[in-house]
Structure 1
Amino acid sequence: METTPSPAPASRHISTHIDRPAKTVYDYASAPSHLPEWAHGLGNSIEKVGERWIADSSPLGRVVVAFALENEFGVLDHEVTLPSGETVYNPLRVIADGAGCEVVFTLRRRPGVSDEEFQSDADAVSADLATLKQVVEQA
């Protein structure tokens, strides 16, 4: 009997454990001005223009980033509006885990993204989370 390969998952959860309290990690990661230090997918600079955050040097071009309001639940969700006008929703959580925490990014597969592109995006998110871990643990 032949089987059809199952389709690639629509999303992938990528995480890292950070040896710092969840509140410390949340406070650092929730500050948009810190993004260039660890979230290279959003570029090398970000600035607030009115009520919006603009990343001009993103590999995707000029993008607008909107963040979840400050909260006590560790939710760092954000939307990135691409130069095409498409908005990508990015779930991101900081979850307490003993004396440290786990940071979980849910990478959503957009329509038309190949397996190779999806893997490349996952690798970039993993690298960003590794950088976040390094930056926060060395502070």
Structure 2
Amino acid sequence: MTSTGRALTRTISLATSPGKVFDYLSDAHHLPEWAPGFAPAVEHDHGDVWRIPAEPARQVAVKAAKAQGVVDFVSPDAPNLGLFTRVVPNLAGAELIFSLFFPADTEPAAVDAQLVVVEEELRAVRERVER
């Protein structure tokens, strides 16, 4: 039987329009601002693929669909691995939803450490889009 692993989802309410949040997130140039641990710098490679010239160098595909509020940051080789985000309208602004998935055997301490990073990233997005 295949294990589904473990999901980690966090949200943050933002006092700005969903469109503004989507536009910010879908521009990969902003990754170093809100996710510096993952992408201290980015360079466009081709299409929706960006190069992260960190050590080790890696790539990320930014899959965006404005009408659905989808901005996913996934492996170009394994699009089921990455950060899956949704921007949806809430009563007076936007709700930003981050979801990550971990293999079933991931150590709880590693999941907890990633949760801290996710919370920091959500706050960083808020600081930038609510200006």
**TM-score, with length taken from structure 2:** 0.84
Q: 1 CA distance for matches of 2:10 and 2:64?
A: 22
Q: Share of identical aligned residues, percent?
A: 23
After alignment, is 85-94 or 64-73 more displaced? 85-94
The runs of 4+ residues in structure 1 deviating greater than 6 Å are: none
1:84-103 to 2 correspondences below 5 Å: 88-103=81-96
1:102-113 to 2 correspondences below 5 Å: 102-113=95-106
1:1-139 to 2 correspondences below 5 Å: 10-51=6-47, 52-57=49-54, 61-80=56-75, 88-138=81-131
Across the aligned residues of Structure 1 and Structure 2, the Cα RMSD in angstroms comes to: 2.0
* 8 Å contact from structure 1 (residues 13, 104) kept in 2: yes
SS at match of 1:49: strand
For structure 2, the 5+ residue unaligned runs are none
CA 69–94 in structure 1, closer or farther in 2 if over 3 Å, else same: closer
Question: When the two structures are aligned, how many residues end up with a matched partner?
Answer: 125
SS at match of 1:124: helix
Q: 2 CA distance for matches of 1:89 and 1:44?
A: 17
AA of the residue aligned to 2:100: L
**TM-score, with length taken from structure 1:** 0.80
1:14-50 Cα shifts (integer Å, max 9, x gaps): 1111110000110111100111111224221001123
* 8 Å contact from structure 1 (residues 107, 122) kept in 2: no
* 8 Å contact from structure 1 (residues 14, 107) kept in 2: no
